[in-house]
Amino acid sequence: MSDQSESEPQGSGPRRVSVPSRISGATPALLGYAAVRLVGMAILAVAAAVQGKDALHRLNGRWDSVWYVRIAENGYGYGVTLPDGSVHSDLAFFPLLPALERAASGVLPVGAATAGLVIGWIAAFAAAWGVYAVGAQVAGQRAGVLLAVLWGVYPTAFVQLMAYTETLFTALAAWSLYAVLTGRWIIAGTLCALAGLTRPSAAALVAALGVTGLARLFRGDLTWRTVVGVVIAPLGWLGYVVFVAVRQGSPTAYFEVQAAWGNDIDGGVALARFIGGRLTGPAPLAGVGLIAALGLLFWVVWLCVRQRQPLPLLVYGTGVVVISLIGAAYFGSRPRLIMPAFPLLLPAAVALARRARRTTLPVVALLALASGAYGAFTLLGSGPP
């Protein structure tokens, strides 16, 4: 087992801190990201005003946001009993975001709900910066900028400015992956552990670090820092699962809580039934559209493989997709669950980076308008994203 400095990239000698992690290099990406999200916010504000609804309330006062605020204010222990007898427990929600909301509301002159919104906005830019850093490290600065912007026009990008966990998780995941790419394994493991306190999909990030560590072992360039990073990585996720197990008195309590919410892992059976129901129902074209969407998703994953993305990006992106599809969760939430898998956008970012600015700008503008319109439609509707 060889020894390397914490800042060494995999398989090479020492290097200085790379440009993508510097704020000066990230400025175009952050400005571009801010521009496309402002478009989305403007569309939401106009649509909400037309309908006489409160746009801000849609961002921090509904659906999962309410559960996080309740945990921040009162701790765990709340549940709702449904007519069928099943119980929706707040133990289904991971603790990092409500802990940050509680801490921020204790320092700032705002309540936990507003604190969650502030945290979400800060995390959005931290995530965009991390996404840019990964893209620039792998495919160059222009591709990195476009990767961050494309993540900002993802169909459910409106969630990035909500008091939800996807943005905080993406920030931690992106910087953890960047740390792996640049050989900072202890930092990578620590950020992964924090991601594991944020969302259950951190299992994909844990797998990315573990598989990459194994690959280094087989190549014969494993370092003690890699081992430490890999060992630290799952501690957040495992720690919360153990906490729920001890609290509920059952080793499988966390999974039982998720099953009560209808989020148990069924290998994709619920997804297949949902699509089948559309195909045989009164609107079969909806089923065809869903099949086409899944086909597009699998094609994008294949493009990432053909692009020969670094191993941690491939494992992470594919892992998030798999986790999002094999659960029995509400179908409408699946695009949101896949959103943290930003490496899936890298083939498109590289393709756009090869085009002239007169081509990329109209494409990005069109995507920003479409994303904003979809976001306003979803947020002003009755169902959760």
* String of DSSP letters for 353-384: HTS-HHHHHHHHHHHHHHHHHHHHHHHTSSS-
Residue 12 lies in a domain: no
- Which of 207, 272, 262 is closest to 234 using CA atoms? 207
Rounded Cα gap, residues 124 and 342, in angstroms: 13
pLDDT tens string 68-83: 999 999 999 999 998 8
Confidence (pLDDT) at 86? 83
Confidence (pLDDT) at 329? 75
pLDDT tens string 29-47: 999 999 999 999 999 999 9
Q: What percent of the chain has pLDDT over 90?
A: 78
Residue 302 lies in a domain: yes
Residue 15 lies in a domain: no
Residue 235 lies in a domain: yes
Residue 206, CA atoms < 13 Å, CB-side half-sphere: 20
Residue 5 lies in a domain: no
Q: What percent of the chain has pLDDT over 70?
A: 95
Integer Rg of the chain from CA: 21
- Which of 287, 337, 27, 16 is closest to 159 using CA atoms? 337
pLDDT confidence band for 20 (50 / 70 / 90) = low
Task: Give me 71's structure tokens.
Answer: 């945990």
Asked whether residue 26 carries a pLDDT value surpassing 70, the answer given is: yes
pLDDT tens string 76-119: 999 999 888 888 999 999 999 999 999 999 999 999 999 999 99
178 or 54: whose pLDDT is higher? 178
Asked whether residue 192 carries a pLDDT value surpassing 80, the answer given is: yes
Rounded Cα gap, residues 25 and 305, in angstroms: 28
Confidence (pLDDT) at 19? 54
pLDDT tens string 311-365: 999 999 999 999 999 987 777 789 999 999 999 999 999 999 999 989 999 999 9
Ranges 3-7, 164-168, 178-182, 312-316: which has the least confidence: 3-7
Residue 2 lies in a domain: no
Full residue range of the structural domain in which residue 269 is found: 21-379
Asked whether residue 180 carries a pLDDT value surpassing 80, the answer given is: yes
Rounded Cα gap, residues 95 and 251, in angstroms: 19
Name, in order, each residue with C-beta under 8 angstroms of 126's C-beta and a sequence gap of 6 or more.
Answer: 171, 175
Ranges 17-21, 22-26, 70-74, 289-293: which has the least confidence: 17-21
Confidence (pLDDT) at 83? 85
- Mean pLDDT estimate for the chain: 91
Ranges 166-170, 183-187, 189-193, 376-380: which has the least confidence: 376-380
Q: What is the pTM of this model?
A: 0.92
Sole residue written with tokens 């007898």: 85
Asked whether residue 4 carries a pLDDT value surpassing 50, the answer given is: no
Residue 14 lies in a domain: no
Asked whether residue 50 carries a pLDDT value surpassing 60, the answer given is: yes
Confidence (pLDDT) at 241? 97
Instruction: Give the total number of structural domains in the chain.
Output: 1
Residue 16 lies in a domain: no
